[in-house]
Structure 1
C-alpha cells in the first residue's frame, strides 16, 4: 500500500472550462500545475490547481495535510432505504467525487451551480464513513465491526443528541472556502430521496504557507495543536495504529480507519483571563513556540520525569500533555486533524467557539477511549472545556478506478 499514488496533471483550460470545480479526493499526493507562460498571482496561500485524485487505497482526508476550510456532516438514511438504494447513493457520491477531482461537473450532462467557478480543485478532499446504525438499517449487522460499538459516557459530557451520531459521515476540506461548501452542497443534492442531513459543523485553520509549523496549527486557546501527532508515512508502527492493516480485516475496511468526532466548546471568556504561566502549566507547553516546559523546541520529546530542585514535576501531574501521552495510556495513539470553529455568541452572552476534534485510529477501544477516560479524570484543561457533540464512524478503504467507496461491503 502506498501513501502517495500517482497524480495526473490538470491543465488550467480544463479546470476553467469545467467550472473550476472542487476535487473530491481519496489518496495522498497534491500536485500544482500551471499553463506554460502563465504568470503567477497572489492566491492568499492557496494553490487553486492543487489536486488530490479520488481513487486510491486509502481515502484522502486522513493522511493528507490539513486544509484550512472544513465541513463535517452526518446524514441519516430515510425509512425504507435498502441496500441497493444505499449502494446507489455511494455510487453517485463516488462518481461525483471522481469527476470533480478531474475538474468536471459533479454529474455528467447536468449544469452546475457555478459557486466554485474558477476556483480550481484547491486540494479538496472528501471522506466517507458509516455509523453503527448504517449496518443495522441495511441488514448488515453481522458485518458491523466490533470496534464500532457505542462510545462510553464520560464525566462532564453535555452531548446534544441532535448534533451527535448519524448513519453516514462526510468530511469535506479544501484550501478555498467556496470550493468546500460547493462540494458539500453537491453531495447533499445527490441524497434526495435517500438520506437527510442530520448535522453540519464547519471549521477553519490557517492557510497553507501562512507560517504555521508543518502538521500543527494554533487552536483558539492560543496553543499549537497536533505537535505530538504520529508520522504514519515514515513509521509503519504508527501507520498500523491509524489505518486498519491487519490481514484478517475485511477487504472493504483494509486501508480504512475509525474516526471519532467531538465538538468541544472552549470557555474562552475564562481561559483568556488567566496568566500565561497558568495556561502553559495546564497544557505543559510554552505558548510562544509550543516547546515542552522541560525545554527544547516544539518537537523536542517531553521529559515527563524532569523535576525542579524541590522535587515538583516540571510537567504538572494534571497537565494535558502528561495525561494524553501514550506512555500513560498503554501506547494509545491517534492522528488528530481538528479544526477551530466560531459560531458567534450564546444566549448567556458567552462566546460559542472551540474545536472540532477529529481523531483517526485503527481501533477506538485502544485509541480514543482510554485517553479520554484518563483526561476526564483530572486534565487541567477540562475545567475550560465542554464536550457538546460526539460521533464514531468506520471509514472504508478508498475506491479503485471504476468502483465506489464501500462497494465490497454493500455488494459482498
Structure 2
C-alpha cells in the first residue's frame, strides 16, 4: 500500500448544483470521450468531475429525486412531489451522479484513468476444461457487448433476460475493465504471445497468500457510483460466462461517494489516512509513459494497455487504532489531519526527506512509509494506484476483516510494483500493521475501437 507516487493535481471548476444541471431528455448533454467520465463528483487525483447530464432509460421518476439532489428540505420536497404527481408532469432529469457515463471505446480501457467510483467488484474467472481460444474469443465478444451497452445505459434488447436490478438507475459512471492472467495464454494456446511483463511476481517475505483468491485466467474490474448498477453488471457478466468460464474468486470494495465532502479531497483509507495524494497524472506525457504501454511497445496487442497488480491487504485496525496520533503520523510520514508531509507544507508539497528536526533526526523517519515508497528511493518507480477499501465482516477473534483492495497500474510491473514492494519488504514501518493475503498480476489490453471487442488483437491477430 503506497501513498507517495508523483502527482500534479488539477484545478477544475466546481460543479453546478443539481437544480442548474438537470435537463430534460431533449436537452441532455452529450458524453465525453477517451475513457474519462463526464458528470459531477471528485476524482481519484483530487480533481472535480465536469458537470454533464446524460439521460437514459434508467431514470429517477418524480421531482422528489431532483429536490433531494438540489438540497431542498424534506418538507418542501414532499409538497413538490405531490404536486407533480397530481399534475402528471414529465419526470425530471437524473441527478448528475446517476446520469454520468464513461465511454467504452478509446485508446485505453475505462476504469484505469477514470475517477475512482464509490462501489467496485473485482473478480477472476478460470476457463472451463473444454474452453480454448475460440470459446474465449466468443466470451470476450459477449462481455464487451454487454459492457458497452450497460456503460451507455442502453435498455435490454427485446427478448433479452435481464435481472431488472438497475432498471431505475442511470449508468452512474459504470466501467468494466478486462484483463488476462498468465495461465490464460496456456489455456488458449497463445504461449508465443505471452508478455515478458507478465512474469510471475516474486515471493515477498511478508506474503501469506491464499492461492484460491489469487491469480486466474481472466480478470474483471467493475466500478460504479451506485451499488445496484455495479451488482447488475457483475451478474450480467457472470451469466454471459456460463459454460465457458467459472468464477475463481470475487471481492467487493468501496470508496467515498462523489459529493460526500465539502470540496474535492483525496480519499482516506480505513486507517483514516489520506491515501493517493501523489498519484501520477495519466494526462501528463511523462507519467502516462509509466502507466500505459506505448503504441510502439511489445507485444503490439498491448498497445495502449497497462499491467495491474492486485493485492488484498488486510489492515490490523485494532492494533493501529491503539497507537497515538503521533505514532501513526510517524509511521506514515504525513499528518493525519490534512495529509501534509511531516517535513512541512500542505498535502501536495513534495516531502523533504533530508530535513532534520530540532533533535537532529530526520522529520520523516528512515522507515516511514512515504520515504520507503518515494520514487527517489526506488529508481523512479511509479504506479497509478486506484484501490478500493473492503470490509468482509469480523474474524473469529473479533477483529475486522477489512483493509485495502490494492490496485497498481503500470507499463511494466518489473519496473513499477516489484522494486517498490521489495523495498517495503525490507523495512517499512507500516508493514507490521498489514497482512498481504491475495495477489494477482494481469495484462489489461488497450481499449477497443468501435466494432472491436476487448482482446481482439490478441485473440485474432
Identify whether the pair has TM-score above 0.5, normalized to the shorter chain: yes
Counterpart pick for 2:427 among 371, 374, 378:
378
Using a 3 Å threshold, how does the CA distance of structure 1 residues 241 and 298 change in structure 2: closer, same or farther?
A: same
Counterpart pick for 1:342 among 391, 394, 402:
391
Which segments of 5 or more consecutive residues in structure 1 lack a partner in the other structure? 1-9, 15-22
Question: How far, CA to CA, are the matches of 1:312 and 1:259 in structure 2?
Answer: 37
The answer on 1:29 being equivalent to 2:37 is yes
With normalisation by structure 1, the TM-score equals: 0.91
Q: Deviation per CA, 1:47-71, whole angstroms, max 9, x where unpaired?
A: 1010112111110110010001000
Counterpart pick for 1:157 among 197, 207, 218:
207
Given that 2:54 and 2:101 are in contact with CA atoms closer than 8 Å, whether structure 1 keeps it comes out as no
Matches within 5 A, 1:245-260: 245-260=294-309
Given that 1:304 and 1:315 are in contact with CA atoms closer than 8 Å, whether structure 2 keeps it comes out as yes
Question: How far, CA to CA, are the matches of 2:130 and 2:288 in structure 1?
Answer: 39
- Counterpart for residue 18 of structure 1: none
Given that 2:307 and 2:444 are in contact with CA atoms closer than 8 Å, whether structure 1 keeps it comes out as yes
Given that 2:178 and 2:454 are in contact with CA atoms closer than 8 Å, whether structure 1 keeps it comes out as yes
Question: How far, CA to CA, are the matches of 2:262 and 2:407 in structure 1?
Answer: 19
The answer on 1:324 being equivalent to 2:373 is yes
CA shift for structure 1 position 113:
1.0
Computed over aligned residues only, the root mean square deviation of the Cα atoms, in angstroms, reads 2.1
CA shift for structure 1 position 111:
3.0
Q: Helix, strand or coil for the counterpart of 1:262? A: strand
- Counterpart for residue 131 of structure 2: 81
CA shift for structure 1 position 311:
2.0
Question: How far, CA to CA, are the matches of 1:150 and 1:138 in structure 2?
Answer: 18
Question: How far, CA to CA, are the matches of 1:48 and 1:109 in structure 2?
Answer: 26
- Counterpart for residue 351 of structure 1: 400
The answer on 1:223 being equivalent to 2:273 is yes
Question: How far, CA to CA, are the matches of 2:262 and 2:157 in structure 1?
Answer: 37
Using a 3 Å threshold, how does the CA distance of structure 1 residues 198 and 266 change in structure 2: closer, same or farther?
A: same
Structure exhibiting the larger radius of gyration computed from Cα positions: 2
Counterpart pick for 1:396 among 425, 445, 450:
445
With normalisation by structure 2, the TM-score equals: 0.81
The answer to which of 166-175 and 111-120 deviates more is: 111-120
Matches within 5 A, 1:175-186: 175-186=225-236
The answer on 1:42 being equivalent to 2:68 is yes
Using a 3 Å threshold, how does the CA distance of structure 1 residues 34 and 144 change in structure 2: closer, same or farther?
A: closer
The answer to which of 240-249 and 392-401 deviates more is: 240-249
- Counterpart for residue 93 of structure 1: 143
Using a 3 Å threshold, how does the CA distance of structure 1 residues 34 and 257 change in structure 2: closer, same or farther?
A: closer
CA shift for structure 1 position 198:
0.6
More helix by share: 2
Given that 2:195 and 2:299 are in contact with CA atoms closer than 8 Å, whether structure 1 keeps it comes out as no
Using a 3 Å threshold, how does the CA distance of structure 1 residues 213 and 272 change in structure 2: closer, same or farther?
A: farther
Given that 2:54 and 2:100 are in contact with CA atoms closer than 8 Å, whether structure 1 keeps it comes out as no
Given that 1:96 and 1:106 are in contact with CA atoms closer than 8 Å, whether structure 2 keeps it comes out as no
Using a 3 Å threshold, how does the CA distance of structure 1 residues 363 and 34 change in structure 2: closer, same or farther?
A: closer
CA shift for structure 1 position 13:
6.1
Using a 3 Å threshold, how does the CA distance of structure 1 residues 291 and 340 change in structure 2: closer, same or farther?
A: same
Q: Deviation per CA, 1:179-237, whole angstroms, max 9, x where unpaired?
A: 0011011000000110000111111111112127747210010100000111121x211
CA shift for structure 1 position 109:
3.5
